[in-house]
Amino acid sequence: MFFPNAEVMVNPLLLILLGVIVGTLGGFFGVGGGFLITAGLLVFGVPTIFAVGTGMALILGSSIINLLKHRHLGNVDYRLAGLTILGTVPALFLAKALNSKLEATGAIGPVIGYLYVALLVFLGLFIIYDYWKTRRWSDQSGEAVSTGALAQRLYAWRIPPHSISFPGLGRVSMYASLPASQIESIHVLIPITIGFAVGFLSGLLGAGGGFIMLPVMIFVIGIPTTVAVGTGLLQIIVTGVVGTALYSLSNNVDLLMAVIMLAAASAGSQLGAAATASVGAGRIRFLFGVTVLSGGVSVALKQVAGSLPNLEYLNTLASVVLLGVSGAMAIFIGVLLLRAKLRARASSESNG
């Protein structure tokens, strides 16, 4: 099928498959699916700037769907999301300006591709390492992480200013309590700065930032995994709104492509979000790490195929890795949810 705005031929069945996978994994991991969407579109041959812009549009739609489900489950910390958003919005404008300069010089493809590979591989390997390191501990909830001491140090930081004056309000403390995230006190500049860093990277890569924000919330800020899943979606929606607007103004969004994938994503998002209530926190993180790592490998194969001659077959292998691993993960999530439902039904019948 020819998509005139992006001027590229893509099989719509591949877009539908990618949409279903993104919806399921987005609902389960609390990410917009940007690391899969943009990586997938790049693998399918979509020009980089359109992969970035179209990815932003799909992230917006799928994140709204997933947020509504997680709000119902009580997994959203609105205070924390608001603080990170304060840093995210200005960072998106800075990232868009840098992307435009990279496109003008012709360097956007290699820069985005290699940055994607570095981030995805690092995050995937770290999350898997953390899972294997902490699974030997006696924490039955699965919330223990290897960086717990880092979060405690962040809470203890006393960064000036400690308070600021607002007309009509007097002195206002710069420390916030985030009970939904089980944080008694944290300086507001910490989540704002984290939001800026994640926003810049997400705007540069054309992703909602969820694949970065989720591990940052868990391993740096130290909030519970399920709360990180839901809260990250609210931040991603703001990223998606601003990012989609910026790329739409530059005519770098293929709406037809985005609509096809969004229709498919809505079908999978309900399943993924419901599964978070039935799967342990540690397992959620491990599955997320494997998925992120597979995305890094697929983009790496694509980059190698584009930089060296006679290696076109690596493009096919990249598609197999991306859709194969993420598709298998989506099926596995469905199986986990089904098993949990069957156990709950059996328990209910035995008690009845």
> pLDDT tens digits for 279-326?
777 888 888 888 888 888 888 888 888 777 788 788 778 877 877 888
- Beta carbons of 301 and 318 less than 8 angstroms apart: yes
Mapped onto helix, strand or coil, the DSSP state of residue 185 is: strand
Distance, CA of 28 to chain centre:
11
| Paired strand residues for 2 | 9
User: From CA 289, how far away is CA 297, in angstroms rounded?
Assistant: 12
pLDDT band at 56 (very low <50, low <70, confident <90, very high): confident
142 or 245: which leads in pLDDT: 245
Q: Tokens in use for 137?
A: 């501990």
Please count the CA atoms within 13 angstroms of the CA of 267 that sit on its side-chain side: 11
Which CA distances in Å does 325 have to 59, 193, 232, 234, 350?
20, 33, 23, 27, 37
What is the DSSP-derived secondary structure letter of residue 346?
Answer: H
Burial bucket for residue 75 (CB in 10 Å: 0-12, 13-18, 19+): buried
Write down the pLDDT at residue 345: 82
pLDDT at 207: 61
pLDDT at 175 (0 to 100): 92
Q: What is the rounded distance in angstroms from the CA atom of residue 70 to the CA atom of residue 58?
A: 18
> What is the model's pLDDT at position 140?
52
Number of domains in the chain: 1
Predicted confidence band at 352 (pLDDT cuts at 50, 70, 90)? low
Residue among 226, 202, 224, 203 at smallest CA distance from 213: 202
Cα distance between residue 113 and residue 165, in whole Å: 45
Sort 89 into a burial class: Cβ within 10 Å, 0-12 / 13-18 / 19+. middle
**pLDDT tens readout for residues 226-282:** 888 888 888 777 767 777 787 777 788 888 888 898 888 887 877 887 787 777 778
Tokens at residue 212, please?
A: 């970065």
* Average predicted confidence (pLDDT) for the chain: 82
CA angle at 92 for the pair 295 and 71, rounded to the nearest 5°? 70
Evaluate whether 243 touches 206 at the Cβ level (below 8 Å). Answer: yes
pLDDT tens across 179-204, in order?
Answer: 989 899 999 999 999 989 988 887 78
203-214 pLDDT tens trace: 787 665 677 888
Q: Residue 42's closest CA among 34, 30, 51, 33? A: 51
Rounded to whole angstroms, how far apart are CA atoms 44 and 9? 9
Domain residues for 181? 2-351
- Give residue-wise pLDDT tens across range 70-105: 788 788 899 998 999 899 888 888 887 887 787 788
